[in-house]
């Protein structure tokens, strides 16, 4: 924390609101969505206009894996270009949103189940800025990232999300950024131009996930490995799926 007075000033301004901020899970897809004007980026921009303006944004991105849970705590997080093989235009993007060390301290003090560390090295990776720059292009709203502890099981992440719930009552928008179906080894590049193409297993799991969410069943989503062969193909590694669990506290009763 910078000092106690700055921490108190920030948290005093985070008054409990009558309306709780929504929590979002966004499939960020290709990094090119960060600079393209397409159906995805247009929807993200529209979504920002449909919800209250947040006091800050906390993103759980598939692209920040760590041993232990960390939260960015710098005043000005850098824009990370964590990809390769894309046009130079994408590497030139800067999203200069401020951070907020006082909010990072609030996150640390709020969570009791685990010790969250303050990070001053990471920044905003493309799982965050490629989405948020379309939602808040003026880059004036503080943006923080929460890392994914890759050593922990899905239940850990769902339980951690419960402890973050009260931030939403204070105007903080929590975003999980990943993809429910993410298997780059199975991408049919020759079918990319075919509208609506998808492998049977991918389409089935996409529908299954949606039905479980709509049906208020986070437990099956937490235990996704029990959903069969299609689940194993859709989620060969968990990093893009785990951000979904941070949005599921809305599905079940706390």
Give pLDDT tens digits for 143-163: 999 999 999 999 999 999 999
What pLDDT, on a 0 to 100 scale, did the predictor assign at position 204?
Answer: 86
Q: Which has more pLDDT, 150 or 15?
A: 150
Q: Which domains does the chain have, with CATH numbers?
A: 4-181 (3.40.830.10)
Residue 149 DSSP SS3: strand
Cα atoms in the 13 Å half-sphere on the side-chain side of 141? 21
> Is 245 buried (19+), middle (13-18) or exposed (0-12) by CB count in 10 A?
buried
Q: Which has more pLDDT, 190 or 58?
A: 58
18, pLDDT greater than 60: no
Q: What is the mean pLDDT of the chain?
A: 87
**Contact between 103 and 1 (Cβ < 8 Å):** no
For residues 116 and 107, give the distance between their C-alpha atoms in angstroms, rounded to a whole number. Answer: 8
What pLDDT, on a 0 to 100 scale, did the predictor assign at position 108?
Answer: 97
What pLDDT, on a 0 to 100 scale, did the predictor assign at position 191?
Answer: 54
Least confident span in 19-23, 54-58, 153-157, 187-191 = 187-191
51, pLDDT greater than 90: yes
For residues 127 and 28, give the distance between their C-alpha atoms in angstroms, rounded to a whole number. Answer: 6
Q: How confident is the model at residue 6 (pLDDT cuts 50, 70, 90)?
A: very low
Q: How confident is the model at residue 249 (pLDDT cuts 50, 70, 90)?
A: confident
For residues 17 and 34, give the distance between their C-alpha atoms in angstroms, rounded to a whole number. Answer: 31
Q: CA 51 → CA 1, 38, 97, 166, distances in Å? A: 30, 21, 19, 18
- Laid out side by side, the sheet with 172-178 consists of 23-27, 172-178, 56-66, 143-149, 70-72, 117-119
What pLDDT, on a 0 to 100 scale, did the predictor assign at position 10?
Answer: 39
């Amino acid at each position: 924390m910078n000092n106690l007075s700055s921490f108190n000033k920030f948290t005093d301004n985070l008054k409990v609101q009558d309306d709780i901020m929504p929590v979002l899970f966004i499939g960020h897809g290709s990094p090119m969505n960060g600079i393209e004007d397409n159906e995805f980026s247009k929807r993200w921009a529209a979504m920002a206009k449909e919800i209250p303006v947040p006091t800050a944004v906390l993103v759980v991105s598939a692209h920040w894996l760590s041993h232990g849970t960390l939260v960015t705590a710098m005043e000005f997080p850098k824009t990370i270009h964590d990809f390769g093989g894309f046009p130079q235009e994408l590497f030139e993007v800067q999203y200069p949103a401020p951070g907020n060390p006082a909010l990072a301290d609030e996150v640390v003090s709020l969570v009791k189940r685990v010790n969250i560390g303050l990070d001053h090295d990471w920044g905003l990776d493309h799982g965050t800025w490629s989405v948020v720059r379309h939602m808040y292009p003026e880059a004036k709203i503080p943006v923080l990232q929460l890392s994914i502890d890759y050593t922990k099981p899905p239940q850990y992440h769902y339980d951690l999300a419960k402890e973050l719930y009260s931030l939403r009552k204070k105007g903080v928008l929590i975003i999980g950024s990943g993809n429910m179906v993410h298997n780059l080894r199975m991408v049919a590049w020759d079918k990319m131009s075919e509208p609506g193409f998808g492998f049977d297993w991918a389409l089935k799991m996409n529908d299954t996930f949606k039905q479980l969410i709509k049906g208020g069943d986070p437990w099956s989503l937490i235990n996704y490995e029990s959903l069969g062969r299609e689940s194993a193909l859709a989620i060969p590694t968990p990093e893009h799926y785990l951000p979904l669990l941070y949005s599921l506290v809305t599905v079940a009763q706390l």
